[in-house]
Structure 1
Amino acid sequence: MTRIVVVDNHGQFTHLEHRALRDAGVDTDIVDNTTPPEELDVDGLVLSGGPDMDRIGRCAEYLEMDVPVLGICLGMQIMATQLDGAVSAGDYGGYADVTVRIIDEDDPVVGSLAPETRVWASHADEVTELPTGFTHTATSDVCDIEAMSDTDRDLYGVQWHPEVAHTAEGDELFANFIDCCR
């Protein structure tokens, strides 16, 4: 059975990410972001959202584990900052219902959501510069880089929260990521 753990970055929706994976038939747990990478015997990781870039634990090390990683909100921002991209305060601010346009229909995680999807996202902070090797895969009127991926390293990030009911095709996004982990 495919095993994907959710790395807890102290976000309010971490338990919903865990539930989405469990409901999809995946062997899953929530682990603290200070868990040593060598203790994680997994097929994939989800870096959860969270409130604070100062409390990211060992997330940088998880990006080097050679397993697929999905970064959600803060998880995507961690990915960007640790891999030479950039994050800045967003112009929009808090949570909102947003229409996201899929730029890369071939992307294994967000491509099937094309041409657009409705999502629930926070834009207090957002990725403003892609890390080397990443492709810009989705955009919106609120945030330029809504999603990104590096398919060579199996690293994927979304600014929005696929785990909440307000996101139209969140289950499909998780299913796509699970396929990457199999």
Structure 2
Amino acid sequence: MTRIVVIDNHGQFTHLEGRALRDIGVETEILDNDTDPEEINADGIVLSGGPSMDRVGRCADYLDLGVPVLGICLGMQFMAVELDGSTHSGDYGGYADVTVEILDDEDPLIGSLAPETRVWASHADEVDTVPEGFERTARSDVCEVEAMSNPERGLYGVQWHPEVAHTAEGEAVFEAFRTICESR
């Protein structure tokens, strides 16, 4: 059975991420973000959302474990900053229902959602420059980088929360990530 761990960055939806993975038949465990990377035995890693970049623990170490990583909200923003992209405070804070335009219908994570999907997202902070090797794979009227992907490295990020009921096709995102993890 595919095993994907969720790294807890102290976000309010972390447990829903674990539940969403269990619901699609994935073995999962939620681990604190200060867990020693050598203790992580997984086919993939989800970096959860959270309140602050100052509280991401050892997330940088998890990017080098050789397994696919999906960053959600703060998890994506952290990945961008860690890999020499950049973030900024968004003009539109708080959670809202947003229509996201999928820019690459062949992207392994979100391509199947093309041409657009409805999501639940916070835009208090946003990625404004994707790291080298990444492609911007989704945008909205609220945010120019709603998702990013580097399939070669197995690193993916979404600004929105696929684990919440307000996101129309959230399960499809987790299903695609499971497929990515199983194919590596």
TM-score by structure 2 length?
0.98
Deviation of 1:4 (Å)? 0.2
- Residue 133 (structure 1) aligned with residue 133 (structure 2): yes
Question: What's the secondary structure of 1:163's corresponding residue?
Answer: coil
**Residues 82-108 of structure 1, C-alpha deviation per residue, up to 9 Å, x if partnerless?**
000001100111111000000010000
2:161 is matched with 161
- Residue 152 (structure 1) aligned with residue 152 (structure 2): yes
2:73 is matched with 73
1:54 is matched with 54
Question: What's the secondary structure of 1:91's corresponding residue?
Answer: coil
- Residue 34 (structure 1) aligned with residue 34 (structure 2): yes
Deviation of 1:146 (Å)? 0.1
Q: Number of residue pairs matched?
A: 182
In the alignment, the residues of structure 2 paired with residue 167 and residue 134 of structure 1 have an alpha-carbon distance, to the nearest angstrom, of 24
Question: What's the secondary structure of 1:6's corresponding residue?
Answer: strand
1:171 is matched with 171
Q: Structure 1 segments of 4 or more deviating over 3 A?
A: none
Question: What's the secondary structure of 1:18's corresponding residue?
Answer: helix
In the alignment, the residues of structure 1 paired with residue 65 and residue 181 of structure 2 have an alpha-carbon distance, to the nearest angstrom, of 13
Structure 2 residue identity aligned to 1:46: V
TM-score by structure 1 length?
0.99
Deviation of 1:76 (Å)? 0.1
Structure 2 residue identity aligned to 1:47: L
Question: What is the Cα-based RMSD across aligned positions, in Å?
Answer: 0.4
**Residues 8-38 of structure 1, C-alpha deviation per residue, up to 9 Å, x if partnerless?**
0000000000000001101100000000111
Structure 1 residue identity aligned to 2:81: T
2:44 is matched with 44
**Residues 47-69 of structure 1, C-alpha deviation per residue, up to 9 Å, x if partnerless?**
00000100000001101111000
In the alignment, the residues of structure 2 paired with residue 146 and residue 136 of structure 1 have an alpha-carbon distance, to the nearest angstrom, of 8
